[in-house]
């Protein structure tokens, strides 16, 4: 089953913050985050491999709540380059099997 | 330097005319995926391989087939493309299963006329 992301779309002014959520109806063993710009392939941002893990990359960070079966992506002081569609990705079972993508969140940053 | 290469980038085919999309990788990864992505939607998994072990999704139409003759190459065959098969097709690889990063090719945009 496909993870559900919220919000579906968000528009921010440059410098504002955003939170994107990814929720699953089944147990999550790890969570990937990808960004896809229009007409391009998805690009990997980060993986969180265990519950409670948090990671940061520049001003983009993420958390993983295993018990709640969800992950959140935090974008701080957003830049124009952050525009795109963000997808979470989850393996099917514990560290194995296929990678399934969430419903996606379209982020638009305006000057 | 491209690590996952898809050919062609753009493909126009006639309704019902078989078409093959190709993907090659220089990463020597075990896992290869084929995704279909329609406008404003998430990538939808069609097939995946672990080495030569093939898995297709339950809802992948029979019209879609795949081959992986060796570690480096993977092909997606659409036997009789319909208008609804027009989409971006993405190939991805990962070193191991879902707890390792996936690397994507640039995709093939398929148009059916």
Q: What pLDDT, on the 0 to 100 scale, is given for residue A106?
A: 97
Q: What is the pLDDT of residues B46-77, one digit of tens each?
A: 999 999 989 888 899 999 999 999 999 999 99
Taking CB atoms and an 8 Å cutoff, what residues of chain A touch B104? 41-43
- Neighbour tally for A77: CB within 10 Å: 11
Please state, in angstroms and rounded to a whole number, the distance separating the CA atoms of residues B8 and A94: 35
- Would you call A101 an interface residue with chain B, using a CB distance cutoff of 8 Å? yes
Are B94 and A99 a contacting pair at CB < 8 A?
Answer: yes
Q: Tens digits of per-residue pLDDT, B20-48?
A: 999 999 999 999 999 999 998 999 999 99
Q: Which residues pair with A62 in a beta bridge?
A: A55, A73
Q: Which of A99, A97, A84, A86 is nearest to A31 (CA)?
A: A99
Distance from CA of B14 to the nearest CA of A (A): 23
Q: What is the pLDDT of residue A100?
A: 87
Tens place of pLDDT per residue across chain A (111 aa): 789 999 999 999 999 999 999 999 888 888 999 999 998 999 999 988 876 677 777 789 999 988 888 999 999 999 999 999 999 998 766 545 678 899 999 999 999
Q: What angle do CA B13, B105, B32 make, to 5 degrees?
A: 95
Contact B5, B93 (CB under 8 A): no
Answer for the pair B30, B51: CB distance below 8 angstroms, yes or no.
Answer: yes
Burial class of residue A15, CB neighbours in 10 A (0-12, 13-18, 19+): exposed
* Chain B residues touching A102 at Cβ < 8 A: 42
Question: Which residue of chain A is at minimal alpha-carbon distance from B93?
Answer: A99
User: Are B42 and A103 inside 8 Å of each other by CB?
Assistant: yes
CA B56 to chain centre: 12
Distance from CA of A15 to the nearest CA of B (A): 26
């Amino acid at each position: 089953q496909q993870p559900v992301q919220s919000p579906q779309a968000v528009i921010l002014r440059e410098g504002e913050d955003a939170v994107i959520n990814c929720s699953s109806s089944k147990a999550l063993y790890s969570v990937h985050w990808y960004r896809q710009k229009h007409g391009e392939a998805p690009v990997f941002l980060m993986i969180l491999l265990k519950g409670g893990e948090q990671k940061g990359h520049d001003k983009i960070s993420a958390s993983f709540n295993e018990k709640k079966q969800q992950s959140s992506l935090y974008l701080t002081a957003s830049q124009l380059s952050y525009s795109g569609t963000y997808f979470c990705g989850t393996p099917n079972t514990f560290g194995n099997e296929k990678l399934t993508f969430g419903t996606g969140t379209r982020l638009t940053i305006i000057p | 330097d491209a690590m996952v290469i898809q050919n062609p980038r753009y493909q126009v085919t006639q309704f019902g005319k078989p078409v093959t999309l190709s993907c090659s990788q220089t990463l020597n990864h075990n896992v290869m995926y084929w995704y279909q992505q329609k406008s404003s939607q998430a990538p939808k998994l069609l097939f995946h391989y672990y080495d030569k072990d093939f898995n297709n999704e339950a809802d992948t139409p029979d019209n879609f087939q795949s081959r992986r003759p060796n570690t480096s190459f993977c092909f997606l065959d659409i036997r009789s493309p319909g208008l609804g098969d027009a989409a971006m097709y993405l190939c991805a690889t990962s070193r191991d299963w879902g707890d390792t990063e996936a690397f994507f090719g640039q995709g093939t945009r398929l148009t059916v006329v």
